[in-house]
Structure formats: structure tokens, C-alpha cells
């Protein structure tokens, strides 16, 4: 039975959930076929069977997983004969740190740079809910959150320095010589931005830019081949 993966549907068929991109890249890494099932941000009923209020939701036969990290753990456990996502217990521990760093630092630096753009990328039926929810979180309008981003993008550059240092030393991926889940976690932030915003986050001279290009080429350019803004470097 084909694995089913519920993900977020935006305007013009944009698939803009960063956490769903983590799950999709993990499934591609494992070489597993899956059926993407897009739904609206405000459609909570479709995934109520999983006691979930957001995506991704993955259904593998009778197994239901509702968190991108738990999906990765499950895939390594259920499909040990496929390429590992986490690389054993030590790799799992290190990847968990990358996961937390991405959610608590990279996302915090990147999110405000594209906050208003994401509204336009959301499905028309979701925009009122999205604006109300995000403005409640930011305590400002989305326009105010995004204003002045040209000056604030330097904060993202500085946040990315831990991985940039490794790339400058010749390491092609966060996980080493080959990509793994740590790469998919960080990449999901840039894919989210690429799908939702024309704002250019990276310079072409930045090693992080070259890494992002390598990620886009993986699995027969799976992530590149989606509805998005084709932005170059700054």
C-alpha cells in the first residue's frame, strides 16, 4: 500500500509547508513511493482521524505519524534496509540538535523576512486565518514584520555560519559526504522561502547557496520541480 502524506496547499498549487518538505525529502531519501494529499490550512476535519491540527500527517498502512521528526524516526525503524536518515543513535542525537537549532534560530531569523510574502502564497480561502494567526503571534501586522528586510537579512547570514564553516572546509552536506535528515531539516526552510517569496536570501558566492543548489538537484531535481519563485543569489 502506498504511503499517504498530507501536506499544505497554497495558491496556484504551491506546497508551502516546511515540515511537509522535511517528510517528503525523507521519503525520497528512503526511496519510498508516496501519495501527496494537499489540504487547506483551515481544513482540520480531513486530518482529524490522526488527532492532528497541522501537517504533515503520514499514513503507512495502519501506522499514523503526525510530526516530521517522528516521521523520520519511524522511517529509519520501519525500513532499516533503506538508506539511514539519522545514522544510528549518535547521529540521531546530533541531528536532534540541528533540528532544534533550525526551529529556534534559522526559522526565527528567516521567518520575518518573508512573513508578508507567505500570506500571498497561501490559498485564498486561508489568508484571513493565516493573517490573524500570524499577527497574533508577532503582535504586529505582517507588513510591519517584513518591513526593512533588506537590512535584516544579515541576521540570517550570521545564523547560518555553523554550517557555512563546514562547507568552506570542503564538506558538501551538513551530514557529511552524503545528505541525510539534518540536511533536509535546514533545507526545508529554504524550500519554504523559495515556494512562497521572491526575496533573495543568499549571495551566489555563499557556500550555503551552493549547498542549496545541491539539495535542489537531489532525487532527479524533486524539490526543484515544484511551483516556486526561481530566485538567484543576491
Q: For 25-43, what is each residue's pLDDT tens digit? A: 999 999 999 999 999 999 9
Domain annotation covers residue 231: no
Could you list the residue range(s) of the whole structural domain that residue 208 is in? 88-221
pLDDT of residue 231: 74
Spatial neighbors of 9 by CB under 8 A, at least 6 apart, are 15, 38, 39, 40, 123
Q: Of 131, 142, 105, which is closest to residue 41 (Cα–Cα)?
A: 131
Domain annotation covers residue 57: yes
Tell me the average pLDDT across 174-203.
97
Q: Measured between alpha carbons, how far is 152 from 201 in angstroms, rounded to an integer?
A: 10
Residue 1 has pLDDT above 80, yes or no: no
Residue 158 has pLDDT above 90, yes or no: yes
Residue 219 has pLDDT above 70, yes or no: yes
Residue 234 has pLDDT above 70, yes or no: no
Are residues 42 and 93 located together in one domain of the fold? no
CATH number, domain with residue 37: 3.40.30.10
Domain C-terminal end among 59, 78, 97: 78
**DSSP conformational letter for 122:** B
- What contacts 24+ positions apart, CB below 8 Å, involve 90-93? 91/175, 91/180
Are residues 132 and 186 located together in one domain of the fold? yes
Q: Of 101, 100, 69, which is closest to residue 85 (Cα–Cα)?
A: 69
Residue 216 has pLDDT above 90, yes or no: yes
Tell me the average pLDDT across 153-179.
98
Q: Model confidence over 54-84: pLDDT tens digits?
A: 999 999 999 999 999 999 999 999 999 999 9
CATH number, domain with residue 168: 1.20.1050.10
Domain C-terminal end among 27, 46, 78: 78
Domains in the chain: how many in total?
Answer: 2
Are residues 155 and 46 located together in one domain of the fold? no
Compute φ and ψ for 65, nearest 5 degrees. Answer: -125, 140
Amino acid at each position: 500500500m502506498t504511503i499517504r502524506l498530507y501536506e499544505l496547499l497554497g495558491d496556484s498549487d504551491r506546497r508551502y509547508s516546511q515540515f511537509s518538505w522535511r517528510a517528503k525529502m525523507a521519503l525520497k531519501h528512503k526511496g519510498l513511493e508516496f501519495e501527496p494529499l494537499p489540504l487547506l490550512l483551515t481544513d482540520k476535519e480531513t486530518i482529524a482521524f490522526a488527532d492532528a491540527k497541522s501537517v504533515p500527517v503520514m499514513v503507512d498502512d495502519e501506522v499514523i505519524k503526525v510530526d516530521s521528526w517522528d516521521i523520520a524516526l519511524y522511517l529509519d525503524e520501519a525500513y532499516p534496509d533503506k538508506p539511514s536518515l539519522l545514522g544510528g543513535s549518535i547521529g540521531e542525537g546530533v541531528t536532534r540538535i540541528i533540528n532544534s537549532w533550525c526551529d529556534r534560530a534559522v526559522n526565527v531569523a528567516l521567518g520575518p523576512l518573508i512573513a508578508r510574502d507567505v500570506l500571498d502564497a497561501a490559498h485564498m480561502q486561508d489568508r484571513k486565518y493565516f493573517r490573524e494567526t500570524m499577527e497574533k503571534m508577532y503582535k504586529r501586522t505582517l507588513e510591519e514584520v517584513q518591513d526593512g528586510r533588506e537590512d535584516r537579512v544579515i541576521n540570517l547570514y550570521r545564523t547560518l555560519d555553523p554550517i557555512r564553516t563546514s562547507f568552506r572546509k570542503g564538506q558538501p552536506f551538513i551530514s557529511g559526504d552524503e545528505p541525510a535528515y539534518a540536511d533536509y531539516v535546514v533545507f526545508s526552510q529554504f524550500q519554504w522561502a523559495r515556494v512562497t517569496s521572491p526575496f533573495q536570501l543568499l549571495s551566489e558566492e555563499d557556500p550555503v547557496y551552493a549547498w542549496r543548489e545541491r539539495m535542489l538537484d537531489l532525487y532527479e531535481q524533486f524539490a526543484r520541480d515544484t511551483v516556486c519563485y526561481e530566485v538567484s543569489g543576491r
